[in-house]
Amino acid sequence: MAAKQKAFRSPKYLKWVKSLPCCMCFGNADDPHHIKGVGHLSGGSMTAPDNFVMPMCRNCHAEMHRNPELWPDQWEYVARTLAQAISEGVEV
């Protein structure tokens, strides 16, 4: 059996994500959200890798965790965040 791979972590990338507006309300995104409820990327006590994070304010972050109906939107938010990072030359 293969060893469990460590999740990608980047404090520098998370700091950049915090500089973006919240992907839901467009307020200050001081609380990045790691994608949730997606197979092997997250679940239980696991946190998804930092490249699967999106900018969120504290209120929207809490709402995302409370409301699984919002979870399908996470893919679009992650894609937009990664696209912006690539266009700005941010290391992911």
Task: Give the count of alpha carbons within 13 A of 29, CB side only.
Answer: 22
87, 73, 86: which is closest to 23 by C-alpha?
73
Band (pLDDT 50/70/90 cuts) for residue 76 is: very high
- 4 assigned to some structural domain: no
| pLDDT more than 90, % of the chain | 73
Band (pLDDT 50/70/90 cuts) for residue 92 is: confident
40 backbone dihedrals φ, ψ, rounded to 5°: -75, -5
Domain tally, the chain: 1
- Whether 56 and 34 have beta carbons less than 8 Å apart is answered as no
Domain that holds residue 70: 22-88
- 41 assigned to some structural domain: yes
pLDDT in tens, 3-39: 566 778 999 999 999 999 999 999 999 999 999 876 5
Which pTM value belongs to this model? 0.83
- 11 assigned to some structural domain: no
- 5 assigned to some structural domain: no
69 backbone dihedrals φ, ψ, rounded to 5°: -65, -20
Cβ-based neighbour number of residue 8 at 10 Å: 12
pLDDT for 44 beyond 70: no
- 32 assigned to some structural domain: yes
